[in-house]
Chains A and B, each alone.
Chain A
């Protein structure tokens, strides 16, 4: 990023990094439109692999704490991710776990349902793979020119705060651009001395209520006797709560912030804004809520109704598995 005539060294430094992620968080940041120019005007962008050329060794050469703000997206899947997490923690005053992957593992974290062998089998030895030699990745390979290294794939995906101290959490898959813009405005106001930073550990760029709270759909007393999937329905009532129509919607366990985007487009909330305030285990909250609205007292009938949720673990922990009680409390 060029700074004609300005004195870039005096501007606070900004970094953004992607670890195990899809790149959607980066797109979401670029999607804030002209505000990205405010970022460029206010900050010296020193490291952002998706947007500019920079080397890890450049970051290593910086003074500790010299980067004011780092947005870190992606989970910790391998030792390269972990090394960068540690490096950027050291170099940054404010480290934000940016997006669902960094906070709670997100879709890459679903791999925590499988062992490392199972994952490698799926990738290197399933029907869709042409790998006659049965090649598997190794961290070290000797070639005539020397030894090649590739990052070591960890047995589980970890979240950013499972490896380093995190200052703020910004949820979403990806965070909504208007929320990113709000956070950037806040940071700029702080730089100008017009606002204060939220307390450490705070969730930023989101609400403190639930997705249901933001949802305009009409709600009544819920009595569910059947779960259906969207493609099994002839028509979806555009105004009525999806859960009341038997569609598994996770809005009640999910943090507000997106404006209930999915339900407004006839799709259930699948939980990308993560657990609502105060929720310890996201899936437990969903189980708790569903148990309250399933309309049966008969074990056989309850089982029949639950047949309508073919993959409960996957549906209840789609974004949060790497941060769930059963996958963080004890894996080993």
Chain B
């Protein structure tokens, strides 16, 4: 193979820990693959499953969800909610014929820039190995309708 597949990954990061960890990785000049586009949320609990489905349906090959370590969420319980959403999402994706490994949950504190960069690199490798998201529907027709708004719901 001459050209290596470069997956597109959307990463939803918590403002208080993992986004800072990613930031720290940047300031410390720790390299991680540019495949991940980070979207900052105030907390992993803000992660509506709609965001993940929307990312995948719009062309992402994988979605990374990051949050504070269990017990360290700045909004107390919300990362446990993210944890349960993550488990539900993976099970639902299986029903759609999509590999559940395309969604990954990582806990990272603000100090863990190095670890987060490693996790990101590992995830990019995993998705690269999986290949592009192959929709299990061998349809010739591209459907047109697509809701353009992202749902606004309280976390």
Q: Which residues of A contact B (CB under 8 A)?
A: 112-113, 115-117, 154-156, 158-159, 161-162, 278-281, 283-285, 287-288, 290-292, 294, 296-297, 299, 302-303, 306, 309, 311-314, 316, 323-332
B144–chain A nearest beta-carbon distance, Å: 6
In the bound complex, CA of A328 to CA of B136 (Å): 13
A158-B143, A280-B147, A329-B57 as given contacts; A312 in contact with B137, CB under 8 Å: no
Binds A, one of B4-12, B14-22, B25-33, B86-94: B86-94
B69 within 8 A of A: no
Asked if A331 contacts B142 (CB within 8 A), the reply is yes
A155-B137, A328-B143 as given contacts; A291 in contact with B95, CB under 8 Å: no
Q: How many residues of B contact A (CB 8 A)?
A: 46
In the bound complex, CA of A155 to CA of B84 (Å): 34
Q: Which residues of B contact A (CB under 8 A)?
A: 48-50, 52-54, 56-59, 70, 80-85, 87-89, 91-98, 135-147, 149-153
Other 5 A-B pairs with CB < 8 A, given A162-B143, A291-B81 = A162-B145, A287-B85, A312-B92, A313-B91, A331-B135
Residues on the B chain within 8 Å of A278, using CB: 151-153
A113-B95, A312-B91 as given contacts; A297 in contact with B59, CB under 8 Å: no
Asked if B50 contacts A280 (CB within 8 A), the reply is yes
Nearest opposing residue in chain A for B138, CB measure: A115
Asked if B150 contacts A280 (CB within 8 A), the reply is yes
Asked if A312 contacts B138 (CB within 8 A), the reply is no
Instruction: Give me the 9 closest cross-chain CB pairs, A-B, nearest first.
Output: A313-B95, A329-B57, A291-B84, A155-B139, A284-B49, A284-B50, A291-B85, A325-B53, A280-B151
In the bound complex, CA of A306 to CA of B96 (Å): 17
Which of A159, A283, A291, A302 has the most chain B CB within a 10 Å cutoff? A291
Residues on the B chain within 8 Å of A296, using CB: 84
A162-B145, A279-B151, A287-B92 as given contacts; A303 in contact with B87, CB under 8 Å: yes
In the bound complex, CA of A116 to CA of B93 (Å): 20
Asked if B144 contacts A162 (CB within 8 A), the reply is yes
Residues on the A chain within 8 Å of B85, using CB: 287-288, 291
Residues on the A chain within 8 Å of B141, using CB: 154-156, 331-332
A113-B95, A331-B142 as given contacts; A288 in contact with B53, CB under 8 Å: no
In the bound complex, CA of A312 to CA of B90 (Å): 10
Residues on the B chain within 8 Å of A323, using CB: 145
Which of A113, A155, A325 has the most chain B CB within a 10 Å cutoff? A325
Residues on the B chain within 8 Å of A284, using CB: 48-50, 52-53, 151
Residues on the A chain within 8 Å of B137, using CB: 112, 115, 155-156, 327, 331-332
Asked if A312 contacts B143 (CB within 8 A), the reply is no
In the bound complex, CA of A273 to CA of B60 (Å): 31
In the bound complex, CA of A278 to CA of B142 (Å): 25
In the bound complex, CA of A112 to CA of B95 (Å): 11
Asked if B83 contacts A313 (CB within 8 A), the reply is no
In the bound complex, CA of A156 to CA of B143 (Å): 9
In the bound complex, CA of A294 to CA of B94 (Å): 20
In the bound complex, CA of A327 to CA of B150 (Å): 16
A155-B137, A306-B88, A331-B135 as given contacts; A297 in contact with B80, CB under 8 Å: yes
In the bound complex, CA of A130 to CA of B104 (Å): 46
In the bound complex, CA of A199 to CA of B69 (Å): 48
Residues on the B chain within 8 Å of A158, using CB: 143
19 A-B contacts, Cβ less than 8 Å apart? A115-B137, A155-B141, A162-B143, A281-B151, A284-B52, A287-B88, A288-B50, A291-B82, A299-B83, A306-B88, A312-B95, A326-B53, A326-B56, A327-B143, A328-B57, A329-B146, A330-B59, A331-B142, A332-B135
Nearest opposing residue in chain B for A117, CB measure: B138
Asked if A332 contacts B92 (CB within 8 A), the reply is no
Nearest opposing residue in chain A for B87, CB measure: A302
Residues on the B chain within 8 Å of A314, using CB: 95
